[in-house]
């Protein structure tokens, strides 16, 4: 349930348009496209908007709703599916215009406390989504969390705006974990940019021994993506956005055909100790010269898993190697260590334990 028609009506009100066309008109695009470009630059390129109340600007707010809201709602839905939990009471920190809060409600939450420091964002979120299920709270999320205990806490695309050291973010995570109900989940989502993602990796390393990382990491050691400064590990899921999102994205020149994000899902269960041959696929396929190759990260760290194509054709137990979407969890073996990675043998197996969004 993407709620996009409702969002579009609200955007039109905000920019003073009376159109009811099923696509953005030229006049609407003249307002929305430059505002989307400013947001894109200010949040992901020069990042000059970070630390500012950009939602106090009506056009930026309208642009966020039109182009970013559906994408971040989708991030929330994907992570909630992976977290495999039906929340009753949820908390959304850095809620902005409520994409994660609304997704939590759609996933079953009866009550969602949603906090942000932008009064304008909270005001618009309340106008859009009402106050029955939602409690919109004006609050700095780097301070004391709201009272109560929660089944799910989400922090969507907000950690990178806090201007905190890694250890301070780890300290906040500790506070949030302390107000999770047993069996609950803390879901952290960050933009799939190199710097924001690598920060999440470093923070993960600070907490990996204290909390269970439900996803994406199976490996409980230090994050292998940090070894190379050009490297970062994020997820990407195919997405077909509504036509009007596609139209606006094309006009702005940004891609909207995948849901991309860096994420961590944490629980209070025992931290992982896996060392076996269970791993998550963390790269796109890198097939060359008759060999099927993927980077996988799991109980043995991050390594290239290689399968000669002819083995995958002849041995059904290796057939999954032909198509392993990034994010899939597999169990595999045996292998032989060779120059180009861990190479599966002709009678080895690869078993899919969980699809990329599960
Ligand atoms: C990029 S928006 C993300 C909004 C929403 N979670 C989403 O994913 O669409 C980041 C939000 O974090 C909020 N924010 C940034 N620093 C904050 C702080 N210290 N306390 C509360 N909210 C903060 C901003 O006001 C903004 O609404």
Task: Tell me the per-residue pLDDT of 293-341, one tens digit each, with 9 for 90 and over.
Answer: 999 999 888 999 999 999 999 999 999 999 999 999 999 999 999 988 9
Residue whose CA is at the smallest distance from ligand 1 atom 15 = 161
Average pLDDT over residues 137-147: 95
CA of 200 to the centre of ligand 1 (A): 16
Looking at the structure of the chain, the number of domains it has is 2
Decide the pairing of beta strands 341-354 and 329-338.
antiparallel
- Shared domain for 149 and 203, answered yes or no, is yes
Out of 267, 290, 312, a domain closes at: 267
272 within domain boundaries? no
Atom number of ligand 1 nearest to Cα 155: 6
pLDDT for 144-192, tens place per residue?
999 999 999 999 999 999 999 999 999 999 999 999 999 999 999 999 9
| 29 and 140 inside one domain | yes
Q: From the alpha carbon of 92, which atom of ligand 1 is closest?
A: 6
Check pLDDT > 70 for residue 352.
yes
Atom of ligand 1 nearest to the CA of 99: 9
Token duo for residue 328: 């899939």
CA–centroid distance, residue 4 to ligand 1 (Å): 21
The answer to whether residues 169 and 288 belong to one domain is no
Residue 276: pLDDT band (50, 70, 90) is confident
Q: Confirm whether 283 is domain-assigned.
A: yes
Residues 156, 298 within the same domain: no
CATH code of the domain in which 128 resides: 3.40.50.150
pTM: 0.96
Q: pLDDT tens-digit profile of 201-243? A: 999 999 999 999 999 999 888 999 999 999 999 999 999 999 9
218: CA distance to ligand 1 center in Å? 29
Cross-strand bridge partners of residue 138: 116
pLDDT at 245 over 80: yes
What pLDDT score was predicted for residue 273? 82
Q: Specify the residue with its C-alpha closest to ligand 1, atom 4.
A: 96
Which residues contact ligand 1 via a Cβ below 6 A? Answer: 55, 72, 94-96, 99-100, 116-118, 121, 140-142, 156-158, 161-162
Cβ within 8 Å of residue 322, ≥6 positions away: 292, 312
**Residue 273 is assigned to a structural domain of this protein:** no
Shared-domain flag, residues 140 and 222: yes
Encode pLDDT of 11-36 as tens digits: 999 999 999 999 999 999 999 999 99
- Other beta carbons within 10 angstroms of residue 306's beta carbon come to 22
Cα–Cα distance between 252 and 295 in angstroms, integer?
33
The region that residue 187 occupies, defined by phi over 0 for left and psi between -120 and 50 for alpha, beta otherwise, is beta
Tell me, yes or no, whether 223 lies in a domain: yes
Q: What is the CATH number of the domain that holds 329?
A: 2.40.50.140
What ligand 1 atom has the least distance to the C-alpha of 96?
Answer: 27
- pLDDT for res 267: 97
**Looking at the structure, do residues 73 and 192 belong to the same domain, yes or no?**
yes
Is residue 44 predicted with pLDDT exceeding 80? yes
Averaged pLDDT for residues 277-282: 94
- Asked if residue 316 and residue 284 are part of one domain, the reply reads yes
Q: Is residue 136 part of a domain?
A: yes
Q: What does the pLDDT read at residue 357?
A: 78
Interacting residues of 235 by C-beta distance below 8 A, sequence separation 6+: 78, 192, 216, 260, 261, 262, 263, 326, 327, 356
Looking at the structure, do residues 126 and 177 belong to the same domain, yes or no? yes
Predicted pLDDT of residue 2: 76
Which tokens sit at 93? Answer: 């920190």
Is residue 160, in this structure, part of any structural domain at all? Answer: yes
Instruction: Name which residue sits closest to atom 19 of ligand 1, judged by CA.
Output: 140
* Residue whose CA is at the smallest distance from ligand 1 atom 1: 157
- pLDDT value at residue 299: 84
Which residue, chain included where needed, has tokens 């032909």? 322
Q: Please give the average per-residue pLDDT across 77-101, as a whole number.
A: 96
Residue 1 pLDDT exceeds 80 = no
Expressed in angstroms and rounded, the spacing between residue 131 Cα and the centre of ligand 1 is: 19
Instruction: Give per-residue pLDDT as tens, 115-134.
Output: 999 999 999 999 999 998 99
Q: Is 313 inside any structural domain? A: yes
Residue 212 located in a structural domain: yes
163 and 291 assigned to the same domain: no
| Same structural domain, 247 and 347 | no
Helix residue ranges, H only, the chain: 4-14, 26-40, 58-63, 69-83, 99-106, 119-129, 166-178, 194-207, 243-252, 309-314
Final residue in a domain of this structure, among 239, 267, 295: 267
- Residue 189 alpha carbon, nearest atom of ligand 1: 8
CA of 98 to the centre of ligand 1 (A): 10
Nearest atom in ligand 1 to 98's CA: 5
Rounded CA-CA distance 222/220 in Å is: 7
The answer to whether residues 238 and 312 belong to one domain is no
Range of the domain at 182: 4-267
**Residue 256: predicted pLDDT:** 87
Question: Distance from the CA of 158 to the center of ligand 1, in angstroms?
Answer: 5
User: Do residues 258 and 136 both lie within one domain?
Assistant: yes
């Amino acid at each position: 349930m993407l709620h996009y028609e409702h969002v579009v009506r609200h955007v039109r009100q905000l920019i003073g348009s009376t159109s009811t066309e099923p696509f953005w008109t030229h006049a609407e695009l003249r307002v929305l496209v430059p505002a989307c470009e400013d947001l894109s630059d200010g949040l992901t390129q020069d990042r000059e908007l970070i630390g500012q109340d950009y939602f106090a600007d009506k056009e930026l707010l309208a642009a966020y709703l039109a182009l970013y809201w559906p994408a971040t709602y989708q991030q929330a839905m994907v992570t909630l599916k992976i977290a495999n939990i039906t929340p009753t009471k949820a908390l959304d920190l850095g809620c902005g215009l409520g994409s994660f809060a609304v997704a939590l409600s759609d996933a079953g939450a009866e009550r969602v406390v949603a906090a942000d420091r932008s009064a304008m964002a909270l005001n618009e979120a309340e106008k859009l989504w009402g106050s029955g299920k939602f409690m919109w709270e004006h609050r700095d999320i780097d301070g004391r969390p709201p009272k109560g205990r929660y089944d799910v806490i989400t922090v969507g695309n907000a950690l990178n705006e806090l201007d905190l050291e890694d250890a301070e973010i780890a300290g906040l995570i500790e506070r949030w974990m302390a107000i999770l109900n047993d069996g609950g989940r803390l879901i952290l989502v960050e933009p799939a940019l190199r710097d924001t993602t690598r920060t999440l990796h470093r923070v993960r390393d600070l907490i990996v021994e204290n909390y269970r990382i439900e996803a994406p990491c199976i490996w409980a050691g230090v994050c292998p993506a940090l070894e190379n400064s050009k490297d970062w590990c994020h997820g990407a899921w195919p997405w077909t956005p509504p036509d009007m999102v596609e139209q606006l994205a094309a006009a702005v020149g940004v891609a909207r055909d995948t849901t991309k994000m860096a994420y961590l899902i944490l629980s209070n269960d025992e931290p992982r100790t896996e060392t076996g041959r269970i791993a998550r696929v963390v790269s796109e396929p890198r097939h060359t010269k008759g060999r099927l190759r993927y980077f996988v990260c799991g109980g043995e760290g991050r390594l290239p898993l290689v399968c000669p194509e002819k083995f995958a054709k002849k041995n059904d137990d290796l057939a999954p190697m032909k198509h392993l979407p990034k994010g899939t969890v597999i169990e595999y073996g045996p292998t032989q260590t060779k120059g180009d990675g861990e190479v599966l043998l002709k009678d080895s197996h690869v078993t899919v334990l969980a699809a990329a969004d599960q």
